[in-house]
Chain A
């Protein structure tokens, strides 16, 4: 692993990593464990093994409706984030030298807490349209998902051969043709990765969804939050585990298709 490192450091490192892994993954493991517990109340380690909570979750209209809402929302957010984010990334890659400020602006929702505009968005929306709606959530989620798409697409565009577009010009390609035949294919891996991130972000998003919620607009995380505020039973754990599994599946697909780590650092 590390070279020329004293033995005690190496052992210490392994133990440290193990503990860190435990710490980072503990809540997820706990949730998954509780979901298969047989007991009526929430307990970890789980007692017995049963899938009844999954059954209960799948039969509960509140959870099922929330799931479909989250799914629809995430799908539409993915589309809007990819279209807007892809276009923005292409534009940013062209304006690289003078585009520093604009790029920072686009990527700012990544580092700014969503609460900063959640409040104002609710207030603006109420003033214009009244009660919040699906479109409000769609708008809000797109704002947070957009920078993920931009970041992954920009990363891919940064590695491309800059001469391809010039070559296409010398071959008679007009602006639109170059966009379609050269630039968009170059973006594709970045857009795909961005799409997965966008879907995951939207599906899991809690803060904006909580601020913009109303009785008809309950996403899955909001539904879970509501249950957690009162007295949750293991059904919550079952639903949560399903959410974890969806995330894991998305990550696996992402890694298999494109290599996750290149988007991880930086």
Chain B
């Protein structure tokens, strides 16, 4: 495995600029998630790293070598596709052997041993002679994974590989990916639009927006301390409230005030409040009106009107409030993120 360095990557398709000024360094063995909504450029960036799309401008370096002008087949990478892309006319074992065969890595016996090891890593050694069409979606995905790790690539690229799986299978595969990464530790770049996936799998999350990097940080940091309103709303359902800060207090649109963390600069700002951090109860310092109650089984989700803004608050199922009634809510100052206005 190697490190991956992207310098000032830009890319346009025709007149549409898809990526601009991307600078990113991924250390050897790091698992990085490229997170973002459709069209933010994350898949394009991944394909540029793979060499499937050329750069408009900038440089791609893998393990210190400039691979910008190299085609994919010469880059010593491995990629896992959303559609698995298993060769339908070859067995599982032959599929897994394919990269070794194409790169002429080792004698047949050595290749066979590596194939066996890769299949055992994904716990599919018993299906080595089956054809892809005989496998379930989850099994096909694992074959694709085995095929990706067998050649010991410098960089492993994953293009939304779990999107086609149902929820339960997806969770299983996420655990497998974490496990395999821990054991083998390949440098991995993982594209997803699912923030939960990014948070649970990666060492570092790179949030992309409109062709640029919005924020990059460890999962905990990016969730607890999003740098922008976009980051805030993308990761976790956050409520955004405009407010005026002065003297350690935030003044909302309807005049209500609440305490903010010490040292917050004065002026106009946006407060980001997570729905799970807002407490409904008589101790609260703010008043809001209930708009809608949504029953979620273990909890309620309330849509409240606070200072003219709709906000979402989670509460235990035991808390029953009627739409139209007034309610008191509070939030601890250190749970409030103050963002630029």
Contacts and interface: CB of A to CB of B under 8 A. Distances in A.
A167 B157 CA distance: 11
A172 B52 contact: no
Nearest to A160: B88
Contact of B87 (A169, A170, A172, A182): A182
B202 to A, nearest CB: 21
B71 A171 contact: no
A167 B81 contact: yes
A181 B79 CA distance: 18
Interface in A144-174: 161, 163-164, 166-174
Interface stretch (B6-14, B95-103, B189-197): B95-103
Given A166-B52, A167-B79, A168-B102, A173 B73 contact: yes
A173 B78 CA distance: 12
A170 B78 contact: yes
A182 B73 CA distance: 14
A185 B89 contact: yes
A117 to B, nearest CB: 38
A169 B83 contact: no
B341 interface: no
A177 interface: yes
Interface string A83-117: 00000000000000000000000000000000000
B147 interface: yes
A163 B79 CA distance: 11
Interface string A198-228: 0000000000000000000000000000000
Contacts of B151: 171-172
Given A170-B50, A172-B99, A164 B87 contact: yes
Contact of A169 (B71, B76, B82, B157): B71
B331 to A, nearest CB: 47
B4 interface: no
Interface string B90-126: 0000000011001100000000000000000000000
B85 interface: yes
Contacts of B102: 168, 171-174, 177
A177 to B, nearest CB: 6
Contact of A172 (B73, B83, B88, B157): B73
Nearest to B150: A171
A159 to B, nearest CB: 11
Most buried by A among B83, B87, B99: B87
B52 A170 contact: yes
A173 B71 CA distance: 10
B72 interface: yes
B71 A172 contact: no
B85 A169 contact: no
A173 B95 CA distance: 13
Interface in B58-83: 71-79, 81-83
Nearest to B71: A169
A170 B79 contact: yes
Contacts of B51: 169-170
22 contacts: A161-B83, A163-B85, A166-B52, A166-B72, A166-B79, A167-B85, A169-B51, A169-B71, A170-B50, A170-B72, A170-B79, A170-B157, A171-B73, A171-B78, A171-B98, A171-B151, A172-B76, A172-B102, A173-B98, A174-B102, A177-B102, A181-B87
Interface of A: 161, 163-164, 166-174, 177, 181-182, 185, 188
- Sorted from nearest, which 4 A-B pairs have the closest CB atoms? A167-B85, A171-B99, A172-B102, A170-B79
